[in-house]
Amino acid sequence: MRAKIAKPARRRAKQERAQGTIAVILEAAAQVLEREGYARATTNRIAEVAGVSVGTIYQYFSNKDEIFDALIRRELDALQRLLRDAAPNPTEPFADALQRLLRALVRAQPEAPALFRSLEHVPNALFRRRVEEARGSIVAWVRSFLTIHRRELCVRDLETAAFLIVAAAEGVAMTASPEFYRKRGADELATLFSRYLTASSA
């Protein structure tokens, strides 16, 4: 009986160790990709930076493209989790809600835009396809927020408005300094889009 009871604990410990190893490999892959480029991001180089053997890498990934696919999915999953945690609140005043939405988008943008730019060079359009899928869900999330406040808006094409908000947040993230983006970016974008969304066309 004791042995049977101990198995789940051992299994969980083994799974936790495996997840920890995978996290180390993915972080090493991100570092190599950003600093040295895709061509030099071999499994040998990733293993060296991760401090593990190449054999350990092959326990979890068949090749380096599988590593980068997992890295891409990790980054995009983290982004979407942040947005799910900031679900629209129907009772919140529009101005406050818009600012909160933009702050959520700011937090949802990658902490290291250079990594995302590097991931664009992963072949077979894999990253682009993953990003388009994630962007579609983010635009839908923003559109749901706009729908809640439809009566307060002068803009009628909410799909286009949602796309513009997401594209603006992405653009600022890729070009502004991290300090400006995190501290002022959201508030400035909120001011800009508040006028766009609520100002009359006259």
DSSP string, 98-124: HHHHHHHHHHHS-S-HHHHHHHTTSST
Residue spans of the domains in the chain: they are: 1-61, 64-202
pLDDT for the residue numbered 33? 87
pTM of the shown model: 0.65
The pLDDT of residue 202: 42
pLDDT at 119: 72
CATH class of 1-61: mainly alpha
Q: Which two tokens stand for residue 100?
A: 């909160």
Domain topology for 64-202: Tetracycline Repressor; domain 2 (1.10.357)
| 23 Cα distance to chain centroid | 16
Say which residues have a Cβ less than 8 Å from residue 38's Cβ, sequence separation at least 6: 68, 118, 121, 122, 123
pLDDT of residue 69: 86
Residue type, position 70, single letter: A
Phi-psi region of 129 (alpha: psi -120 to 50; beta: other; left: phi over 0): alpha
What is the C-alpha separation between 2 and 11, in angstroms, rounded? 15
Q: What is the DSSP letter of 154?
A: S
Each residue's pLDDT expressed in tens, for the chain with a length of 202 residues: 444 544 555 455 467 788 899 999 999 998 998 888 888 899 999 999 999 999 999 999 999 889 988 888 887 787 777 777 777 777 888 888 888 888 777 766 655 566 766 776 677 667 777 777 778 888 888 898 899 888 889 998 999 999 998 888 877 777 766 667 666 777 888 888 888 998 754 4
Which residues, at least 6 apart from 31, have a Cβ–Cβ distance to it below 8 Å? 49
At residue 113, the pLDDT reads 60
In this prediction, residue 200 carries a pLDDT of 52
Q: What is the pLDDT of residue 54?
A: 94
Q: What is the structure's pLDDT at 52?
A: 94
Would you state the pLDDT for residue 48? 96
**pLDDT at residue 201, rounded to an integer:** 46
Q: What pLDDT does 124 receive?
A: 64
